[in-house]
Structure 1
């Protein structure tokens, strides 16, 4: 990122976001996205130097202009603002427009969690997902993340796409020349299916969740929405993505929130599993297990084709290659 003129602080924020995604097991939003971030800066789709500005605010709400900056910078600014408001008023709600891809939604809900709050993070995205019963894409994968504190440093962390799978998983199959399951994407148009697969299954629920995120981000914040967000791969144009961030202080409600949440999560974890080899988990356990595996292995395992892409990018920018541990 620095090789294409990004300031050290902005480049650091991007690096943290990408590596944390891989560390937590959300590989489609990690190093896999680095070339896109670089291309957006190099070819003018994103302003690497932009700093967000507040357009309108109240004690609990704010509307932010990302000024076409790096999505990570816009998101950190906006969630920090929501946290500041939650500290004063019990809740902070911030919506941002004119942003770019901000990585994994859980980065920002966890930021609120670190402050002792419930954190919620949403974003719309490039229109790759077909609405229920449609052939073409009109909505983004529109992620949702919710983080909530429990006792003994435990926590609930939901970090999910409202599409059946992230687009990166489809691209990975394409690079390996493997077929894409019809539950993931329309075999004719390539449009991703909403969460729930293809009609007549329950994909209208995933479609409804994607529309919900679109309302919070694109409609509420006056960013691009639905088909008006930049098309995938067009790194020359501004994306105009919208985000929404909410921080809530649970202490403004009934006491004992963390204890009750711990009780519920531990009850679920201790239920009899359908498969004895696969214990019952709650949202957040997958990420913790993946981080534990990475720690045990001493590093993140990357696919050879991704490493090759990164080496080619390094050659193009005249920077040092990755240094594999094994």
Structure 2
């Protein structure tokens, strides 16, 4: 193990404060900086490092290149009593998505359901943190987004649709955990390719094709090619669905028009689609929670296939990881800490402190 690949740990409170300070030094308001920081650190806590604070150098580069407005505030327009639209105004996607879910929740409390479309946004990190916002408010939710082209449509060979996550959630019962699903329609999220490149790791050969259309274990070559959809035409169709609901419907970019967070050429113009609904629309809340308990127990108590020690509910592994990392700290390799502290030095703020 080299010095650069040595693992160190950071307290989640320190990571949040560090990211918020970096963003405020870059012109982001205190409130928006704290929203972005929470979203990124939640990803690291849940073990989704591909969408954690290591995204900061690319976010800051977008500000510095003038393709993301750090001072932008999302604005909202009410369309019907249960439908609204947020304009991200080319600011960070995190505050736009947070406002959208906050609005959807408020409508759902009154009318049972709330739907919000978001346009002219940017990357909003891990979808599960927005689902968690709804779960914490006692709501069920659907969270869609589109993203920059990385997948071919089934039968094609060029990048056209994004590795756009499908996410949803529901509160748990008294004896179960919340249901939180956050999955990409590809074999792996594209952020995992960037993470492997950053850490000098290889990737499984079934994740992506290189620029010549061959399987590769080299993340640098994979980023020149295409990601592979899960389930062949099924994954491709799900990625197209994200474009329909997030891009076409919202008035944002679609069909390969979204700009990714590592592309400094133009604004992202990402679209999101968010729904919140009360879990007591069709059964009482007590009944709903009891039914969730039954579902959880039947899932985790299922007969196990050979070689399996434990069956997990969707989102359970991430919740266990979060519990552990809140106690022990979030692991990073030293090269990642160095990259973040380089950004801090540029902005004249204190570096990220690791756990002694």
Do structure 1's residue 186 and structure 2's residue 233 form an aligned pair? no
Do structure 1's residue 173 and structure 2's residue 203 form an aligned pair? no
Q: Which moved more, 1:170-179 or 1:311-320?
A: 170-179
CA distance in 2, matches of 1:56, 1:289: 38
CA distance in 1, matches of 2:325, 2:37: 17
What is residue 245 of structure 1 aligned with on the other side? 274
CA distance in 2, matches of 1:260, 1:125: 35
Contact 1:142–1:213 (8 Å) recurs in 2: yes
CA distance in 2, matches of 1:83, 1:100: 22
Q: 1:88 to 1:211 in 2, by over 3 A?
A: same
Q: 2:323 aligns with which of 292, 309, 318?
A: 292
What's the offset of the Cα at 1:192?
Answer: 3.5
Q: Which moved more, 1:14-23 or 1:234-243?
A: 234-243
What's the offset of the Cα at 1:229?
Answer: 0.8
Do structure 1's residue 259 and structure 2's residue 290 form an aligned pair? yes
Runs (5+) with no aligned partner, structure 1 = 197-201
CA distance in 1, matches of 2:203, 2:171: 38
Runs of 4+ residues over 6 Å off in structure 1: none
What's the offset of the Cα at 1:63?
Answer: 2.1
Do structure 1's residue 222 and structure 2's residue 223 form an aligned pair? no
Q: Deviations over 1:173-195 (max 9, x none)?
A: 33455544331111235334344
Contact 1:163–1:206 (8 Å) recurs in 2: yes
Contact 1:193–1:203 (8 Å) recurs in 2: no
What's the offset of the Cα at 1:277?
Answer: 5.6
What is residue 45 of structure 1 aligned with on the other side? 67
Q: 2:178 aligns with which of 147, 152, 155?
A: 155
Do structure 1's residue 306 and structure 2's residue 336 form an aligned pair? yes
Q: 2:166 aligns with which of 125, 144, 152?
A: 144
Q: Deviations over 1:298-319 (max 9, x none)?
A: x101122211211221222222
SS in 1 for 2:355: coil
Q: Which moved more, 1:124-133 or 1:66-75?
A: 124-133
Contact 1:127–1:232 (8 Å) recurs in 2: no
Contact 2:190–2:227 (8 Å) recurs in 1: no
What's the offset of the Cα at 1:32?
Answer: 1.5
CA distance in 2, matches of 1:28, 1:231: 14
RMSD over aligned CA atoms reads: 1.8
What is residue 7 of structure 2 aligned with on the other side? none
Contact 2:209–2:228 (8 Å) recurs in 1: no
Structure 2 counterparts to residues 265-276 of structure 1, below 5 A: 265-275=296-306
CA distance in 1, matches of 2:326, 2:268: 36
Aligned length: 320
Q: How high is the TM-score relative to the length of structure 1?
A: 0.92
CA distance in 2, matches of 1:177, 1:205: 31
What is residue 85 of structure 2 aligned with on the other side? 63
Do structure 1's residue 3 and structure 2's residue 37 form an aligned pair? no
Q: How high is the TM-score relative to the length of structure 2?
A: 0.85
Contact 1:314–1:321 (8 Å) recurs in 2: yes
